[in-house]
Chain A
Amino acid sequence: MKTIHVSTTINGDPAEFICTPDETLLDVLRNRLGLTGAKEGCGTGDCGACSVTVNGRLVCSCLVLGAEAQDAEISTIEGMADADTLHPLQRAFIEHAALQCGICTPGILVAAKALLEKNPDPSDEELRYWLAGNLCRCTGYDKIIRAVQAAAAEMRGA
């Protein structure tokens, strides 16, 4: 299969990669660029573990072709912390023990950040609907909701 050369921006830095036409953005991030924060849960857009943003839109990277990333702005979990300083959402997840196995956590953090940029003060219902496509088989979600709300409150005060 003929490979494609793609120039893109990932977490603010220019990036280039070669991929096959049928390779997903998730596989490119993980296998070619070493960005293994995004996880493959289902590979069919149901679980949200591979969530990233493309041009500011929250998407499942398993449902995007790597070739589509040409000239795009991609943000992944690796760009969330500022060097050693964790994002308020990341700190809140630790403080509220909003994870157990951690597979869903990068996707949920990316998704929650996208919500708070759009709506800094969501109701629990809005938050639960927004995260409906992020499955977690450990926590029962309650601690995740509390952690996001705590981070949202902190970010509104900041």
Chain B
Amino acid sequence: MQYVAAKTADEAVALLAGHSGMARVLAGGTDLLVQLKSGMVEPDLVVDIKRIPGMKDITPEAGGFRIGAAVSGAELGEHAGVCALWPGVVEGFNLIGSTQVQGRATMAGNLCNASPAGDAVPSLVAADAIARIHGPNGSRDCPIGDIPAGPGRTTLAKGEIVTSIFLPARPARASDAYLRFIPRTEMDIAVASAGVSLVLAADGAVASARVALGAVAPTVLLAEEAARVIVGTKLDDDTLARMAAACSAICKPITDKRGTIEFRTKTAGVMAKRAARIAYDRAGAKT
């Protein structure tokens, strides 16, 4: 195995695109090193992207924030601006692993590892966040939801890397939230999860919504019908029950040691309605 710390995105792309064997990108390494050790992957090239300028930066842009691909959970969690604008994105990402894992893990890595249960991903989809991708043909922007292709697979082409994730601006009365179910309180992988992003109208009703579900399909699901159900309402109990049902209706989970199809299908709806309530209260608390 060869290790290269690329100094520019172009250098990283050229190395990855020009390599004939198996290559892997190293950001936080909290998935890659585990895979290396278990023999799950045996790359002959590892390209470390942390030394590329901008990869560790959080930069205000157009009223939102651009998060470099190597920004760790600990760094994002200490950024007051991002925490105020997109608390659901931060809380989803910060649920991953331990304090030690948070010192290294990255959102872009969680996205590209492409686990159906990645805790950073549903909130990013609910936020309508955009990944910037650098590749052999230059840079392109891609909605987060278009990147996972299935468990462990992405739509990125050979030589392409995610260089940053853009969280957009939002109106004053807007917020988001993320919840997952795990059978313990910490250090576990989502059995089912939901991220909800809401904008409120002047009268306190939901003006627009995005709902995304995790761990209930091969890739993250955008629950469009569930979002339609809550628009125009103030999240009364009947509405939330219909929202939960709309979430459960689109779940296509598997049964494994963490949960059954039936349990995941029901729990995804419950997580979604509770996350919607938290996002609603957060948005309403803003003036």
Query: Which of A's residues lie within 8 Å of B, judged by CB?
Result: 1-2, 4, 21-22, 24, 43-46, 48, 51, 54, 57-60, 62-65, 67-68, 70, 111, 114-115, 129-134
Complex formed: what's the CA distance from A67 to B5 in Å? 9
Main secondary structure of the interface of B (DSSP, over half): mixed
User: Among A60, A64, A67, A114, which residue has the most Cβ atoms of chain B within 10 A?
Assistant: A60
User: Among A24, A45, A68, A115, which residue has the most Cβ atoms of chain B within 10 A?
Assistant: A45
Is A111's CB under 8 angstroms from B2's CB?
A: no
Is A59's CB under 8 angstroms from B104's CB?
A: yes
A-B contact count (CB 8 A): 88
Is B97's CB under 8 angstroms from A133's CB?
A: yes
Is B36's CB under 8 angstroms from A129's CB?
A: no
**Size band of the interface chain B makes with A:** 20 to 34
Contacts of A67 in B (CB 8 A): 3, 5, 48
- B1 close to chain A: CB less than 8 A: yes
* A61 nearest in chain B by CB position: B100
A58-B100, A68-B50, A132-B187 known; A63 vs B1 contact (CB < 8 Å): no
Instruction: Write the B2-44 contact mask toward A (1 if CB under 8 angstroms, else 0).
Output: 1101000000000000000000001001100110111000000
B272 CB to closest chain A CB (Å) equals: 25
Of the A-B pairs whose beta carbons lie under 8 Å apart in the complex, a sample of 5, sorted by A's number, is A21-B46, A45-B33, A63-B101, A64-B33, A65-B29
Is B101's CB under 8 angstroms from A45's CB?
A: yes
Complex formed: what's the CA distance from A1 to B3 in Å? 11
* B186 nearest in chain A by CB position: A132
